[in-house]
Structure 1
Amino acid sequence: MDTARFQALALPASDAHSAASQRLLQVADAFTRHFGGPPIGIVRAPGRVNLIGEHVDYEGYSVLPMAIQQSVYVAFGVFNTPQIDSCSGGVNVLSIANAKTQYRGVTVSLKAQESENMAKLEQEGASWAKYVLCGVLGVRDEFPEVFQGKERELKLLVDGDIPAGCGLSSSSALVVASALATSGTLKQQLPGRMELAELCRRAEHRVGTMGGGMDQAVACLAQRGVALHLDFAVAPAQNNHINRLVDIQKALEAARGERVRLKELCELATIHCPLDEYSIDKLEEEYGESLSGLFKGSSLEAATTAVVASAKVFKLQQRACHVWSEAERVELFRATCAELAKGGQPTSKEKELQILGRIMSSSHHSCQTLYECSCPELDSLVTKAMVAGALGARLTGAGWGGCIVALVWKTKVSSFMEAIRYSYYEERGITPADTLYAMFESSPADGADIFRA
Structure 2
Amino acid sequence: MSENTATCVTVKELNESHGCYSRLQELRKFYVKEFDEEPKFYVRVPGRVNIIGEHVDYCGYPVLPMAIEQSILLAVGFTKANNFLYLRNIDVIFDNYKCDLKSFRIDIPEKGGPEWYKYYLCGVKGIFENMNINDSGSIGMYVALSGNIPHGSGLSSSSALVSSATLATSFVYKTSLNRKMLASVSASCERYIGTQGGGMDQAIAYLAEAGCAQFIEFYPELKTTSIQLPPNACFVVANSLAEKNKAASSDFNERVVECRLGCRILAKRMNFENWKNILRFAELQNALNCHLDELEAMASKILSKDIYTREDILQELQVSEKEFENDCLTPNTRKMSHFKLRQRALHVIQESLRVQIFRSTCEATMTWGKVDTLSKLMQESHQSLKHLYECSHPSLDRLIEISEEAGVGARLTGAGWGGCIVALCESIESSKKYIELLKMKYYSKLSKVDESNLENVVFATFPQNGAEILVMACARDIPSKI
Aligned pair partner of 2:136 in 142, 147, 150: 147
Q: Which residue of 1 aligns with 2:145?
A: 158
> 1:139 corresponds to which letter in structure 2?
I
Question: Tell me, what secondary structure is at the counterpart of 1:224?
Answer: coil
Aligned pair partner of 1:183 in 148, 170, 175: 170
Q: Which residue of 1 aligns with 2:31?
A: 31
Q: Which residues of structure 2 form unaligned runs of 5+?
A: 230-284, 473-482
Aligned pair partner of 1:393 in 396, 400, 410: 410
Question: Tell me, what secondary structure is at the counterpart of 2:23?
Answer: helix
Q: Which residue of 2 aligns with 1:136?
A: 124
Q: Is the 8 A contact 1:388 1:420 kept in 2?
A: no
For the pair 1:316 / 2:316, whether they are aligned, the reply is: no
Q: Which residue of 1 aligns with 2:457?
A: 438
Which ranges of 4 or more aligned residues in structure 1 deviate by more than 4 Å?
none
> 1:78 corresponds to which letter in structure 2?
F
Counterparts of 1:184 and 1:285, CA distance in 2: 50
Report how far residue 289 of structure 1 moved: 1.9
For the pair 1:407 / 2:431, whether they are aligned, the reply is: no
Report how far residue 18 of structure 1 moved: 5.7
Q: Which residue of 2 aligns with 1:41?
A: 41
Q: Is the 8 A contact 2:160 2:205 kept in 1?
A: yes
Question: What does the per-residue CA deviation read over 1:282-323, in whole Å, with 9 as the maximum and x for residues that have no partner?
Answer: 222333223551464x5x55x1x53231x2311111111001
> How many equivalent residue pairs?
407
> 2:396 corresponds to which letter in structure 1?
L
For the pair 1:427 / 2:439, whether they are aligned, the reply is: no
For the pair 1:22 / 2:57, whether they are aligned, the reply is: no
Q: Which residue of 2 aligns with 1:198?
A: 184
For the pair 1:110 / 2:113, whether they are aligned, the reply is: no
> 2:134 corresponds to which letter in structure 1?
E
> 1:362 corresponds to which letter in structure 2?
E
Report how far residue 281 of structure 1 moved: 1.8
Change (3 A) 1:246 1:414: closer
Q: Which residue of 2 aligns with 1:250?
A: none
Q: Is the 8 A contact 2:43 2:73 kept in 1?
A: yes
> 2:220 corresponds to which letter in structure 1?
V
Structure 2 counterparts to residues 199-278 of structure 1, below 5 A = 199-235=185-221, 240-246=222-228, 261-278=291-308
> 2:224 corresponds to which letter in structure 1?
I
Aligned pair partner of 1:98 in 89, 92, 104: 89
Question: Tell me, what secondary structure is at the counterpart of 2:134?
Answer: helix
Report how far residue 431 of structure 1 moved: 2.8
Report how far residue 447 of structure 1 moved: 0.1
Question: Tell me, what secondary structure is at the counterpart of 2:85?
Answer: strand
Question: What does the per-residue CA deviation read over 1:69-108, in whole Å, with 9 as the maximum and x for residues that have no partner?
Answer: 1110011002474xxxxxxxxx621111101111111101
Counterparts of 1:113 and 1:24, CA distance in 2: 29
Q: Is the 8 A contact 1:97 1:157 kept in 2?
A: yes
Report how far residue 182 of structure 1 moved: 1.7
Q: Is the 8 A contact 1:55 1:323 kept in 2?
A: yes
Q: Is the 8 A contact 1:48 1:168 kept in 2?
A: yes
Q: Which residues of structure 1 form unaligned runs of 5+?
A: 82-90, 248-256
Question: Tell me, what secondary structure is at the counterpart of 1:437?
Answer: coil
Change (3 A) 1:192 1:80: closer
Structure 2 counterparts to residues 68-83 of structure 1, below 5 A = 68-79=68-79, 81=81
Counterparts of 2:26 and 2:215, CA distance in 1: 34
- Normalised by the size of structure 2, how large is the TM-score? 0.79
Change (3 A) 1:295 1:432: same
For the pair 1:62 / 2:62, whether they are aligned, the reply is: yes
For the pair 1:330 / 2:355, whether they are aligned, the reply is: yes
> 2:69 corresponds to which letter in structure 1?
Q
Higher helix share: 1
Question: What does the per-residue CA deviation read over 1:383-412, in whole Å, with 9 as the maximum and x for residues that have no partner?
Answer: 11222341x100000111111000012221
CA RMSD of aligned residues (A): 2.5
